[in-house]
Chain A
Amino acid sequence: MVKKFDAKSFLRSMLVPILFLIVISFAIPLSGFTSSHLIKEVMTRLARDSFLAVALIIPILAGMGINFAISLGAMSAQIGVIMSQNWLIGEKIGGIGGLLVAALIALPIAIGLGYFAGSVMNKARGREMITSMILAFLVTGFYQFFVLFICGKVIPITNKEILLSRGYGIRNTIRLETAGAFDDLLMVKVKVPGLMRPIEFPFFTYILIALACIFVIWFKRTKLGQDFRSVGQSQRVANSAGLHVDQIRVQSVMISTVLAMFGQLIFLQSIGTMNVYSGTDQTSLFAAAAILVGGASVAKATIPNIFIGVALFHTMFIVMPNAGKALTGNPAIGEYFRSFISYGVVTLALVMHAWSRAKARDDERKRLRRDKTDAAEAAKKASAENTP
Chain B
Amino acid sequence: MPLLEIKNVSKDFDGNVVLKNISFVLDEGKVLGLCGENGAGKSTLMNILFGMDVIHETGGFQGEVILDGESVSFKTPVEALNAGIGMVHQEFSLIPGFTAAENILLNREITKNNIVSSVLRSEKLKTVDMPAVFESAQQSIDALGIKLPAESVVSELPVGYKQFIEIAREINKDNVKLLILDEPTAVLTESEAETLLHSIRSIAARGISIIFISHRLREVIEACDQVIVMRDGLIVADYPTDEIGEHPIGKIASWMTGRTVGESVADEARDLTKEKKIILSVKNLWVDMPGESVENATFDVYEGEIFGIAGLAGQGKLGIPNGIMGIYPSTGEVIFNGEPHELNNPRKAQQNGFAFVSEDRRGVGLLLDEPISWNICFNAMQIQGLGIKKYLGIPFRHEPTMNEVADKYIDELQIRCTGPQQKVSNLSGGNQQKICLAKAFCMEPKILLVSEPTRGIDVGAKELVLDALRRYNKERGTTIVIVSSELEELRSIADRIAVVTEGMVFDILPPSTKSAYFGLLMSGEKIEGEVI
Interface residues of A (CB under 8 A from B): 1, 3, 218, 221-227, 229-230, 233-234, 236-238, 240-243, 364-365, 367-369, 371-373, 375-376, 378-379
B78 near A242 with CB under 8 A, answer: yes
B295 near A369 with CB under 8 A, answer: yes
Cβ-closest chain A residue relative to B331: A369
Neighbour of B126 across the interface among A1, A223, A242, A367, CB < 8 A: A223
B149 near A1 with CB under 8 A, answer: yes
Instruction: Looking at the assembled complex, report how far the CB atom of A225 sits from the nearest CB atom of chain B, in whole angstroms.
Output: 8
With a cutoff of 8 Å between Cβ atoms, the chain B residues found around residue A376 in the complex are: 189, 296
Instruction: Looking at the assembled complex, report how far the CB atom of B97 sits from the nearest CB atom of chain A, in whole angstroms.
Output: 5
B488 within 8 A of A: no
Cβ-closest chain B residue relative to A225: B128
CB contacts under 8 Å to A, within B134-159, are: 149, 151-153, 155-156, 158-159
Q: How far is the CA of A147 from the CA of B520 in the complex (A)?
A: 76
B111 near A223 with CB under 8 A, answer: yes
B107 near A230 with CB under 8 A, answer: yes
Q: How far is the CA of A233 from the CA of B107 in the complex (A)?
A: 13
* Listed A/B pairs (10) with beta-carbon separation below 8 Å: A1-B156, A3-B153, A218-B127, A226-B102, A226-B109, A230-B106, A234-B96, A238-B106, A242-B78, A365-B329
With a cutoff of 8 Å between Cβ atoms, the chain A residues found around residue B125 in the complex are: 222-224
Q: How far is the CA of A242 from the CA of B51 in the complex (A)?
A: 14
Q: How far is the CA of A236 from the CA of B96 in the complex (A)?
A: 12
The verdict on A237 contacting B124 (CB below 8 Å), with A1-B152, A368-B159 known, is no
Cβ-closest chain A residue relative to B76: A242
Neighbour of B107 across the interface among A1, A242, A364, A375, CB < 8 A: A242
Contact mask for chain B residues 80-103; partner A; CB cutoff 8 A; 1 contact, 0 none: 010000000000011111100010
With a cutoff of 8 Å between Cβ atoms, the chain A residues found around residue B81 in the complex are: 242
Q: How far is the CA of A262 from the CA of B96 in the complex (A)?
A: 35
Neighbour of B127 across the interface among A221, A236, A368, CB < 8 A: A221
B95 near A227 with CB under 8 A, answer: no
With a cutoff of 8 Å between Cβ atoms, the chain A residues found around residue B378 in the complex are: none
Interface residues of B (CB under 8 A from A): 77-78, 81, 93-98, 102, 106-107, 109, 111, 114, 116-117, 123-128, 149, 151-153, 155-156, 158-160, 189-192, 286, 288, 293, 295-296, 329
Cβ-closest chain B residue relative to A4: B156
B78 near A227 with CB under 8 A, answer: no
Instruction: Looking at the assembled complex, report how far the CB atom of A3 sits from the nearest CB atom of chain B, in whole angstroms.
Output: 7
With a cutoff of 8 Å between Cβ atoms, the chain B residues found around residue A378 in the complex are: 189, 191
The verdict on A222 contacting B117 (CB below 8 Å), with A237-B106, A240-B77 known, is yes
Cβ-closest chain B residue relative to A379: B190
Q: Give 9 new A-B contacts, CB below 8 A, not counting A223-B128, A237-B106, A372-B189.
A: A1-B149, A222-B117, A222-B126, A223-B111, A223-B127, A234-B96, A238-B106, A375-B190, A379-B191
With a cutoff of 8 Å between Cβ atoms, the chain A residues found around residue B116 in the complex are: 218
Q: How far is the CA of A226 from the CA of B123 in the complex (A)?
A: 13
With a cutoff of 8 Å between Cβ atoms, the chain B residues found around residue A369 in the complex are: 286, 295
Neighbour of B97 across the interface among A3, A224, A225, A233, CB < 8 A: A233
With a cutoff of 8 Å between Cβ atoms, the chain A residues found around residue B293 in the complex are: 368
Q: How far is the CA of A241 from the CA of B173 in the complex (A)?
A: 12
With a cutoff of 8 Å between Cβ atoms, the chain B residues found around residue A375 in the complex are: 189-192
Q: How far is the CA of A34 from the CA of B124 in the complex (A)?
A: 50
Neighbour of B95 across the interface among A234, A365, A373, CB < 8 A: A234
The verdict on A371 contacting B158 (CB below 8 Å), with A222-B117, A222-B126, A226-B109 known, is yes
A223 near B123 with CB under 8 A, answer: yes
B124 near A224 with CB under 8 A, answer: yes
Cβ-closest chain A residue relative to B117: A222
Q: How far is the CA of A375 from the CA of B128 in the complex (A)?
A: 37
Neighbour of A237 across the interface among B93, B111, B152, B160, CB < 8 A: B93
Cβ-closest chain B residue relative to A1: B152
Q: How far is the CA of A344 from the CA of B126 in the complex (A)?
A: 40
With a cutoff of 8 Å between Cβ atoms, the chain B residues found around residue A364 in the complex are: 155
The verdict on A379 contacting B189 (CB below 8 Å), with A243-B107, A369-B286 known, is yes
B124 near A238 with CB under 8 A, answer: no
Cβ-closest chain B residue relative to A365: B288
With a cutoff of 8 Å between Cβ atoms, the chain B residues found around residue A365 in the complex are: 288, 329
Cβ-closest chain A residue relative to B94: A237
B109 near A233 with CB under 8 A, answer: no
Closest 6 CB pairs of A and B: A375-B189, A241-B107, A224-B124, A233-B95, A241-B106, A1-B152
A372 near B107 with CB under 8 A, answer: no
Instruction: Looking at the assembled complex, report how far the CB atom of B216 sits from the nearest CB atom of chain A, in whole angstroms.
Output: 15
Q: How far is the CA of A277 from the CA of B126 in the complex (A)?
A: 42
Cβ-closest chain A residue relative to B82: A242
A238 near B107 with CB under 8 A, answer: yes
Cβ-closest chain A residue relative to B152: A1
Instruction: Looking at the assembled complex, report how far the CB atom of B532 sits from the nearest CB atom of chain A, in whole angstroms.
Output: 26
Q: How far is the CA of A233 from the CA of B103 in the complex (A)?
A: 11
Instruction: Looking at the assembled complex, report how far the CB atom of A238 sits from the nearest CB atom of chain B, in whole angstroms.
Output: 7
Instruction: Looking at the assembled complex, report how far the CB atom of A357 sits from the nearest CB atom of chain B, in whole angstroms.
Output: 12
Q: How far is the CA of A229 from the CA of B77 in the complex (A)?
A: 22
With a cutoff of 8 Å between Cβ atoms, the chain B residues found around residue A227 in the complex are: 107, 124
The verdict on A240 contacting B93 (CB below 8 Å), with A222-B127, A224-B125, A227-B124 known, is yes
With a cutoff of 8 Å between Cβ atoms, the chain A residues found around residue B114 in the complex are: 218, 222
With a cutoff of 8 Å between Cβ atoms, the chain B residues found around residue A218 in the complex are: 114, 116, 127
Q: Which of A221, A223, A364, A368 has the most CB of B within 10 A?
A: A223
With a cutoff of 8 Å between Cβ atoms, the chain B residues found around residue A229 in the complex are: 98
B149 near A223 with CB under 8 A, answer: no
With a cutoff of 8 Å between Cβ atoms, the chain B residues found around residue A240 in the complex are: 77, 93
Cβ-closest chain A residue relative to B91: A236
The verdict on A230 contacting B128 (CB below 8 Å), with A223-B111, A379-B190 known, is no
Instruction: Looking at the assembled complex, report how far the CB atom of B128 sits from the nearest CB atom of chain A, in whole angstroms.
Output: 5
Neighbour of B296 across the interface among A222, A225, A236, A372, CB < 8 A: A372
A233 near B96 with CB under 8 A, answer: yes
Q: Which of B102, B107, B151, B296 has the most CB of A within 10 A?
A: B107
The verdict on A223 contacting B124 (CB below 8 Å), with A241-B107, A242-B107 known, is yes
With a cutoff of 8 Å between Cβ atoms, the chain B residues found around residue A3 in the complex are: 153
Q: How far is the CA of A108 from the CA of B218 in the complex (A)?
A: 64
With a cutoff of 8 Å between Cβ atoms, the chain A residues found around residue B97 in the complex are: 233
B295 near A372 with CB under 8 A, answer: yes
Instruction: Looking at the assembled complex, report how far the CB atom of A301 sits from the nearest CB atom of chain B, in whole angstroms.
Output: 14
Cβ-closest chain A residue relative to B503: A372
A222 near B128 with CB under 8 A, answer: yes
With a cutoff of 8 Å between Cβ atoms, the chain B residues found around residue A234 in the complex are: 95-96
Instruction: Looking at the assembled complex, report how far the CB atom of A206 sits from the nearest CB atom of chain B, in whole angstroms.
Output: 22
Cβ-closest chain B residue relative to A361: B288
With a cutoff of 8 Å between Cβ atoms, the chain B residues found around residue A368 in the complex are: 159, 293
With a cutoff of 8 Å between Cβ atoms, the chain A residues found around residue B111 in the complex are: 222-223
Instruction: Looking at the assembled complex, report how far the CB atom of A359 sits from the nearest CB atom of chain B, in whole angstroms.
Output: 13
Q: How far is the CA of A269 from the CA of B195 in the complex (A)?
A: 65
Instruction: Looking at the assembled complex, report how far the CB atom of B95 sits from the nearest CB atom of chain A, in whole angstroms.
Output: 4
Instruction: Looking at the assembled complex, report how far the CB atom of B78 sits from the nearest CB atom of chain A, in whole angstroms.
Output: 5
With a cutoff of 8 Å between Cβ atoms, the chain A residues found around residue B191 in the complex are: 375, 378-379
Instruction: Looking at the assembled complex, report how far the CB atom of A339 sits from the nearest CB atom of chain B, in whole angstroms.
Output: 34
With a cutoff of 8 Å between Cβ atoms, the chain B residues found around residue A243 in the complex are: 107
